[in-house]
Chains A and B, each alone.
Chain A
Amino acid sequence: QKEVEQDPGPLSVPEGAIVSLNCTYSNSAFQYFMWYRQYSRKGPELLMYTYSSGNKEDGRFTAQVDKSSKYISLFIRDSQPSDSATYLCAMSSIQGAQKLVFGQGTRLTINP
């Protein structure tokens, strides 16, 4: 069993839709949770970083962590074609984004 599970998609939605991306994990030592966005032929870039259970909002993006269920989510509101990318969840048991364990990534397409 992988430490981090993420549905690879692909996921295709119309512009303006709310997108929900999810990851589950098995290692209860994970305390730090991140979402990265990766455009084609580019390196990942950090979107959201959360530590505790609950919600964190940044513009159109909301990250949600439920440690009791070992489940994290990323919501994108008012999705735009420029949001089309692969979204990777990542987790760590160590402060400062060290020793990251990534999910497989979900490929998202927003259709105009």
Chain B
Amino acid sequence: EAGVAQSPRYKIIEKRQSVAFWCNPISGHATLYWYQQILGQGPKLLIQFQNNGVVDDSQLPKDRFSAERLKGVDSTLKIQPAKLEDSAVYLCASSHIRPGLVYSDTQYFGPGTRLTVL
């Protein structure tokens, strides 16, 4: 079974530029998460999708961050414009939903995209 794929793996941009990250979850996983992991900290949830709908985006800085999962499979996270404090690893994770809307206990993480904002 292929894991969660993310691209690019690394990105360096100047502040005020825009950047986009792509995630392809494990096939069949209805739930997709984006996390921000700043160096030396644990991941912080930014947004959760179930299929193509947003379940939780309470910690997403909506003035500069946006995310979409148009067909309920791949997802894109965008930052526009980037700030220095956005330097972090952006992790995508997915999990499946069992019959009866029972969410799996396991989130599978991708390798992340390491963003450096100069």
Contact = CB atoms under 8 A, between A and B. Distances in A.
Interface of A: 4, 6, 8, 32, 34, 41-46, 49, 88, 90, 95-100, 102-105
B25 interface: no
4 nearest A-B residue pairs (beta carbon): A96-B103, A43-B109, A102-B42, A49-B105
How many chain B residues sit at the interface, stated as a range, is 20 to 34
Nearest to B41: A104
Given A49-B106, A97-B107, A98-B103, A104 B56 contact: no
Given A96-B95, A97-B95, A103 B104 contact: no
Contact of B107 (A8, A100, A104, A105): A100
A34 to B, nearest CB: 8
Contacts of B41: 104-105
A95 B40 contact: no
Contact of B48 (A6, A44, A98): A98
A96 to B, nearest CB: 2
B48 A99 contact: yes
A46 B55 CA distance: 22
Given A8-B40, A104-B40, A42 B103 contact: no
A34 B102 CA distance: 18
Given A98-B48, A102-B43, A103-B42, A42 B111 contact: yes
B91 interface: yes
